[in-house]
Chains A and B, each alone.
Chain A
Amino acid sequence: MAASGVDRLNAAGERDAAARGTAEAVARRNYGKLVAFLAARTRDVTAAEDALSDAFASALTEWPRSGCPSNPEAWLLTVARRKIIDGARHRRIGETAAADLQRLAEDFAAVPDGGDIPDQRLALLFACAHPAIEASIRAPLMLQAVLGLDAKRIGSAFLMSPAAMGKRLVRVKDKIRQAGIPFRIPEREELASRLVAVLDAIYAAFAEGWSDPDGADVVRRDLTEEATFLARLVVELLPNEPEALGLLACMLHAEARRRARRNAEGDYVPLAEQDTSAWDAAMIDEAEVLLRRASGFRSIGRYQLEAALQSAHVDRRRTGRANWDAVLELYDALSALTASPVVAINRALAIAELHGADAALAAMPDIAADARLADYQPYWAARAELLARKGADGDAHHAYEIAIGLERDEAVRRFLQRRQAILSC
C-alpha cells in the first residue's frame, strides 16, 4: 500500500516536472510569439499577457493529469484566445462589440489548431520602439512583452523599484492600445530609421546587463543574454539589415571579453591589460563573420562602427597590439555620425596612444560646453589617466578623486584608487 502510494507520488512528481519543463521551454522559446499573435489585432498587450499567463497556469494543472500535448504552443494559444474572446465579450458593450468579436474570432481562426503560429514578434518589437513611446521605457517594454520578464527583474536591472517599473509598463501598454500604435513592420523607406529605435532599445538592455562585469548579479548578467536573444531574433527576421548584424557583432565582441575583465582576485582589469587567452574565441569569430556580412551591404552605421572598433581592439589577440590607427579612424567616423561626448572621450584616449597625452587632453570634450560631463564618471577617469600620463600629478589626483566618487562598481573603484596612489603628491 505504502509503496504503491510512494510510486504514485513519484509518478505524479515526474509528470509535474515534465509539465513544468515543457511549459518553461515554450515560455523560453516562444513567449513573445504568442503575445505578438494574441495582441496584434487588438493592440492590447496587457490582455494578451494576462490570457497567456492564465493559459500557462491551466497547463500546469492540466498537463500533469492528461499528459503534455504534442503541440504545446497551439494548446496554450487555444486556451489564451478563448480567454481573450471571453474577456472581450464581458467588456465590450454597444454596437461595435459584435463586429469586434467577429474580427477577433476570424483572426484567431486563421491559425488552425496545431498549425504553425505566424511569427509577429518583429511587428511587436517595432510597436515597442515606436516613436510615440518614450525612449527610456522601450527596452523594459521589449523585455516584458517579447521575453516575459517580470517588472521585478526589469526594475532591478534598470535601478528602479519594481512597483514604479510595473506602473510605467502598465501605462505604456495602455498607450499602445489607446493611441492605436500599430503592430507592423515599417515600409521600406521608413524601415532603417525605425529599426534604429529597436536596436537602440536592445543595446540599452544589453548595456544595463553589461554594467555588472563579474556577472555576480544574476539579474543583470541574464539581461545581456536576453538582449543577445533579441538581437539574434532581429537578425534572424531581418537578415539583410547591416546595422542589426553590426549590433549583434558588437554585443558578441563585448560578451566575449566578460571573464577577462576581472582577475582571479576579482580586481578590475582594463582592456589593454586583459589576458587575450581569457577572451571567448568562438564568440569573437562569430562576431567577425557577422561584421563582414554587414560590411558587404556597403551601408555604414553606428553599430557597425562600434563593432569594428571592438574588432580593432581584438587585433591584439593576433598582433600583440591593438590597432590604434584603425581605432582612431573609426572614432573619427563615429563622432561625425553622433555628437556624443562618450565618443569624444574614447577618441581622445585613442589619440593618447598615437600622439601623446597633450594632444589627447586637447581633444577631450569641454566640460564648460556640456554640463552632463560634470557627473559622468568616464570623463573624469579618462581625464585623470591623461593628466597622470602627462605628469600633472596634482590635477590627476583631483580628477581621480571625482572619478572614484562617481563609480558604482567596487572593483573599478579599487583600481582607480591604486592608480591614484601611484601619483607623487
Chain B
Amino acid sequence: MQYLLMLYASENGWNTLTKAEQKQGEAAYAAYTEALRKAGALVGSNRLQPVASATTVRLSGGKPQVMDGPYAESKEQLGGYYLIEAADLDAAIAWAARCPGSGHGIVEVRPVWDMATYGLPDREKIHAAM
C-alpha cells in the first residue's frame, strides 16, 4: 500500500534555529530520505515553501476566486511530505516515527486511495441500512 506522510510543524520554529542547527536538521532529513530509498519504500518526497507563498483557488459562480495565503490558518503548517510504500499501517507508522518531523512537529499518516478499488459500491450506504 502507499501512504502519504504529511509533515506539519511550526514554521517559526525553523526560523528560530541557528544556522548550525538548521544544517543538522537538513542532514537528518537527508539521512531519513536515504534510508527510505535504500529500503525501497520511497515513492516521492518534497519540502514545501513557507505558507506565506501559498495561494488558494476555488470556483465561485464559475469564476476562479484566487486568495492569498493557505487554506487553513493554524499553528502548525504543512511543510513537506513523503509518499511511501509500506506493507500495512504498522510499517507506515514505523516510518513516520523515524521521520525527523515527528520530533519537532506532527506527521499525519494517510493511506492513498487504491485505484484498483475504484467503482466499489458505497459500503457506508449499504451497511448503514442494515
A interface with B by C-beta (< 8 Å): 43, 46, 91-97, 100, 130, 132, 151, 163, 166-167, 170-171, 174, 178-182, 184
User: Does A132 contact B89, Cβ atoms closer than 8 Å?
Assistant: yes
B93, B118, B123: which contacts A174 (Cβ < 8 A)? B123
**A130 to B89 alpha-carbon distance, docked (Å):** 10
Q: For the complex, count residues of B whose C-beta is within 8 A of A.
A: 24
Q: Does B52 contact A (CB under 8 A)?
A: no
B28 to chain A, nearest CB (A): 24
In angstroms, Cα B1 to Cα A182, docked, is: 12
Interface contact tally, CB-CB below 8 A: 57
Complex CA–CA separation, A11 to B3 (angstroms) = 58
Q: Jot down 26 A-B pairs with beta carbons below 8 A, ordered by A.
A: A46-B123, A46-B127, A91-B117, A91-B119, A91-B121, A92-B116, A93-B116, A93-B119, A94-B115, A94-B118, A132-B89, A163-B128, A166-B128, A167-B128, A170-B124, A170-B127, A170-B128, A171-B124, A179-B89, A179-B109, A180-B86, A180-B87, A180-B88, A180-B89, A180-B92, A180-B111
B59 contacts A by Cβ under 8 Å: no
Cβ contact within 8 Å between B123 and A170: yes
Ranked 3 nearest A-B pairs via Cβ: A182-B88, A96-B116, A170-B127
Q: Report the bound CA distance from A130 to B1 in whole Å.
A: 18
* B130 contacts A by Cβ under 8 Å: yes
Which residues of chain A come closer than 8 Å to B128, judged between CB atoms?
Answer: 163, 166-167, 170
Tell me the interface secondary structure of chain B in the complex: mixed
* Interface, chain B (partner A; CB < 8 A): 1, 3, 86-90, 92-93, 109, 111, 114-121, 123-124, 127-128, 130
Chain B minimum-CB-distance residue to A95: B116
B53 to chain A, nearest CB (A): 31
Cβ of B124 and Cβ of A174 under 8 Å apart? yes
With a cutoff of 8 Å between Cβ atoms, the chain B residues found around residue A95 in the complex are 116
Separation of A171 and B114 alpha carbons in the complex (Å):
18
- What is the CB-to-nearest-CB distance from B41 to chain A, in angstroms, rounded to a whole number? 14
Which residues of A have CB within 8 Å of B87? 180, 182
Q: A179 contacts which of B111, B118, B119, B123 (Cβ < 8 Å)? A: B111
* B117/A181 in contact, CB under 8 A: no
Q: Is the CB of B111 within 8 A of A93?
A: no
Distance in Å from the Cβ of A204 to the closest Cβ of chain B? 23
Closest A residue, CB atoms, query B113? A178
Do residues A93 and B89 form an inter-chain contact, with CB atoms below 8 A? no
